[in-house]
Amino acid sequence: MNILTIPLRNIRRKPSRSCMLLLIFTLGVMSIVALYQVSQVVGSSLEKKLNAYGANIIVSPAAERLSVSYGGFHMGDMLYDVQSMSERETLHNIRSIALNDRLSVVAPKLVSMTRVNDIAVALVGVYWEAERSLKSYWGVEGEFPADRSQILLGRKAAAQLNLTIGSTITLMEKEFVVSGVLFETGNDDDTVILMNLATLQELTGKTDTISFVEVAALCSGCPIDDIVGQIDKQLPGAEIKALRNVVNQRMASINFVQRLVLSISMVILITAAAMVSLSMLSAVNERKKDIGLLRSLGYGKWQVFTIFCLEAALIGATAGVLGYLSGFWASFHALEFLTLAGDITPVFSFAHLMLTCAIIVMVTILAAAYPSWQGAGIEPSEALIAL
Amino acid sequence: MLSATNITKSFQTNCTPNQVLRGVSVDIAEGEFLSIVGRSGSGKTTLLNVLSTLVRPDEGNLVYQGNALSSCSDSQLNRLRQADFSIIFQFHHLLPYMTVLENTLLPFMNTLKPISRNLHNKARKCLDRVGLGALENRLPGNLSGGEQQRVAIARALVKSSNVLFADEPTGSLDKETGGQIVGLMSDLNRDGLTVIMVTHDPEYAQCGNRTITMEDGLIVP
């Protein structure tokens, strides 16, 4: 027996009132937890889907840019002192950053030029698996290359070279078969010939060399600047460019979902807190006699205040546990019903459970604080009138 | 032991001050059984509340064992009521949602520290003394008025209070039960407990060592 016995017994004394309050708060917590879990899963799922639309970081060799103009004739910007990048070292350094778990795709590329029937074309060496993850919007007529003797053509390049699926073409004295042609993408991929990166390295004699790397990073929970900063630290000689517009656009979509959830959660929490506050206010008025008796027994204002707050905190803690567990369960059903999750599922975290309980206990205590203090402030003489 | 000098107290009734005590002075010796009698509205309950520190007087001095209570802080008065004073009322002496034993131990439940086994045993002995040893797990709603009053007395015994203030403890009881309660208080007084009792009933008042009569906020000589 201690000070906790009094609120515990009082909760037991009015089971219907206590259960109703507990139910309201549990439903509130359940809604918040379910919304949070759904928003996290939807955010991750959305991010994954959005990342299918390409890279958001470009890693390229450092180069000096010079704007050349002489005698009123402008020759445009020229790059000089372009450094090449080692494939092995660059990929190793990118993948060893602290936030490497946020790197979704790392796609190295080698770009070279050649002439086919006096037509200049760009050759791009890629790793098919990484490239297809990065550009899942690609559609192809025919097949993606299955071995190193096959190539993939951009739509305009195929038209320009007059090649179709199954045609053969000699590039740098080596024969290749066209396995497929990309549907028009509207970007640079339309005008190039894509082939295996290692093959192009061999043809050009640039073993272990790449021109640049495209990186798709998952940005929820960490700013793109952190990832860029870490890559920059690992590759001091390279130029790291974050495609901020792309990132911002993606983050805006995810942030919208999360802000919406936060707003709804706040409304639910405030409503539940108001219910606790009202309930405690009526409890204080009902229990003036109890307050008078406790004060006559030598209980101070703080002790009476503590009794009322403990009562709210007990309901809050129970609602926190029940609400978290039921909210977690409800999130599975909500995701299933909305068919939003894909292959991502909510993750149970004991730390989240404890944090939820702590927050809910704080909210209930805050909600109960004013009526409790009013109750505690009743002078014994005033409370005795009720006796 | 407890001395009140020139105590005045007024309450606001419909925005007009109503003076309930008009300069009351009284000395209570240690081990005394003082009965306060008077008609309704004479100020006897207010005097008891002032003496038990539940109500602060407007003017006058209250001294307990040489200490001036008028200048004490609220927390000092709380400690005094917790340790030295016990108060029982005509109605509602107990928290209805706690058992007889828990109500007896209520003065010690004001911290997170669990109540010791010794105090539990002492509470059981006190309940035995007031004849309620077998009812310790009952809720007050299942007790008669007299039994409830005895629980309140047992609570005073557990605290080992020096002074027991009783505000018409027999007011809601039948004659026989009321007599038993006053008899119990007399027994405790014989054991050294100072008792100050407000009552309407002159017969019960005679159980005390001394009786004072209140009229219009003053003690009638």
Give contacts of A6 with chain B, Cβ < 8 Å: 95, 98, 109
Residue A244 has pLDDT above 80, yes or no: no
**First vs last C-alpha separation in chain A:** 26
Q: Are A296 and B54 in contact (CB under 8 A)?
A: yes
Q: How far apart are CA A288 and CA B135, in angstroms?
A: 27
**First vs last C-alpha separation in chain B:** 21
CB contact under 8 A, B109 and A1: yes
What is the average pLDDT across A193-214?
92
What is the average pLDDT across A181-193?
90
Name residue, tokens 């379910």. A34
Q: Which of B20, B56, B100, B109 to mutate to test the interface with A (most CBs of A within 10 A)?
A: B109
Q: What is the ipTM of this complex?
A: 0.84
Give contacts of A299 with chain B, Cβ < 8 Å: 78, 82, 110
* Cα of B101 to nearest chain A Cα, Å: 10
pLDDT band (50, 70, 90) for residue A271: confident
Instruction: Find the chain B residues whose C-beta atoms sit closer than 8 A to any C-beta of A.
Output: 49, 52, 54-55, 74-75, 78-83, 85, 87, 89-98, 102, 105-115, 155
Q: Which of A293, A307, A379 to mutate to test the interface with B (most CBs of B within 10 A)?
A: A293
Q: Are B85 and B165 in contact (CB under 8 A)?
A: yes
Q: Are A57 and A224 in contact (CB under 8 A)?
A: yes
pLDDT at residue A50, rounded to an integer:
62
pLDDT at residue A82, rounded to an integer:
60
pLDDT band (50, 70, 90) for residue A85: confident
* Cα of A283 to nearest chain B Cα, Å: 14
Residue A270 has pLDDT above 70, yes or no: yes
pLDDT band (50, 70, 90) for residue A332: confident
What is the average pLDDT across A275-297?
83
Give contacts of B89 with chain A, Cβ < 8 Å: 293, 296, 384, 387
Q: How far apart are CA B5 and CA B55, in angstroms?
A: 15
Residue B22: phi and psi, rounded to 5, are -120, 60
pLDDT at residue A178, rounded to an integer:
94
Angle subtended at Cα A58 by Cα A53 and Cα A62, rounded to the nearest 5 degrees: 165
Query: Number of C-alpha atoms within 13 angstroms, CB side, residue B102?
Result: 21
Render A12-55 in DSSP notation, one character per residue: HHSHHHHHHHHHHHHHHHHHHHHHHHHHHHHHHHHHHHHHTB--
pLDDT in tens, chain B (221 residues): 899 999 999 887 777 888 889 999 999 999 999 999 998 889 999 999 999 998 889 999 999 998 899 888 888 888 898 889 988 887 757 888 899 999 999 989 988 889 999 999 999 988 988 888 889 999 999 998 888 888 888 888 888 889 999 988 888 778 888 888 888 889 889 988 999 999 988 888 888 889 999 999 999 87
Angle between helices B145-158 and B117-129 (to 10 degrees): 140
pLDDT band (50, 70, 90) for residue A277: confident
pLDDT at residue A84, rounded to an integer:
74
pLDDT band (50, 70, 90) for residue A202: very high
Burial of A368: CB neighbours in 10 Å, binned 0-12, 13-18, 19+: buried
Give contacts of B115 with chain A, Cβ < 8 Å: 1-2
pLDDT band (50, 70, 90) for residue A52: low
pLDDT averaged over chain A?
83
Residue A381 has pLDDT above 80, yes or no: no
pLDDT at residue B200, rounded to an integer:
86
Instruction: Find the chain A residues whose C-beta atoms sit closer than 8 A to any C-beta of B.
Output: 1-6, 9-10, 12-13, 289-290, 293-301, 303, 380-381, 384, 387
Residue A135 has pLDDT above 80, yes or no: yes
pLDDT at residue A256, rounded to an integer:
79
